[in-house]
Amino acid sequence: MENSFEDLIATYIENKVGISEHFLSSELANNLKQNLLNLNKNSLLKTAGIGNSEKLSYDGAIRSDSIYWLDKKNNNAFEIEFFTQIEAFIVYLNESCYAGITGYEFHYSLYESGDFYLKHLDQFKNNPSRKYSMISYLNSDWKESDGGELMIHQLDNNQKISPTQGKTVFFKSDELVHEVLVTQNTRMSITGWLKSD
């Protein structure tokens, strides 16, 4: 587990974008994916908004995915296993990088064919508590023709990241403009933020 933590931190220091190819085990990724599919089958996902509770809006021309917030109160064994790993990573990050992270929030994200999310930053103008963004992908057998890449915009180095199962991406929430390119297949992830309140 610590190897995947170090992968995230080392690649983040090198390129402002941390990537671990196997942050989630295949078993955990499969279980989380099945949970997300079940939630979707039961119509429990909600249209994703833009902004926070103080300034929330919905605009399908900017963002077209659906979400469901993970919560320990859900008493879902796989979500709790995911949170346990995130909490271990936060301890590792705080001890090795003095990051000062005190909390987190995560949601499932589902993009159907044709969905996208235009360029944006992850930190709210009226609330700077989100310090780092993390995305863990749940897509097995993803092909280049499926699209749906995470495009991270940097001055001289735009980076296109395929959403393959088990991979986790990590970057500062207030620093990198990014987008989700149009997907041609059902695209699933857990997206969230490490926070300092």
Mean per-residue pLDDT over the chain, rounded: 91
Q: Is the pLDDT of residue 26 over 90?
A: yes
- Mean pLDDT across the stretch 41-52? 82
What confidence score (pLDDT) does residue 63 get?
A: 85
What confidence score (pLDDT) does residue 47 get?
A: 86
158: confidence class by pLDDT, cuts 50, 70, 90 = confident
DSSP string, the chain: -HHHHHHHHHHHHHHS-EEETTSS-HHHHHHHHHHHHHHHHTT--EE--BS-TTS-B--TTTB--EEEE--GGG--HHHHHHHHHHHHHHHHHHHHH-----EEEEEEEEE-TT--EEEE-SSBTTB--EEEEEEEE--TT--GGGB--EEEE-TT--EEE---TT-EEEEETTT-EEEEPPBSS-EEEEEEEEE--
- pLDDT of 104-153, one tens digit each? 999 999 999 999 988 887 766 666 789 999 999 999 999 999 999 999 99
Percentage of the chain surpassing pLDDT 70? 91
197: confidence class by pLDDT, cuts 50, 70, 90 = confident
What confidence score (pLDDT) does residue 52 get?
A: 56
- pLDDT of 64-88, one tens digit each? 899 999 999 999 999 999 999 999 9
What's the predicted TM-score (pTM) here?
Answer: 0.92
Q: Is the pLDDT of residue 53 over 90?
A: no
What confidence score (pLDDT) does residue 59 get?
A: 62
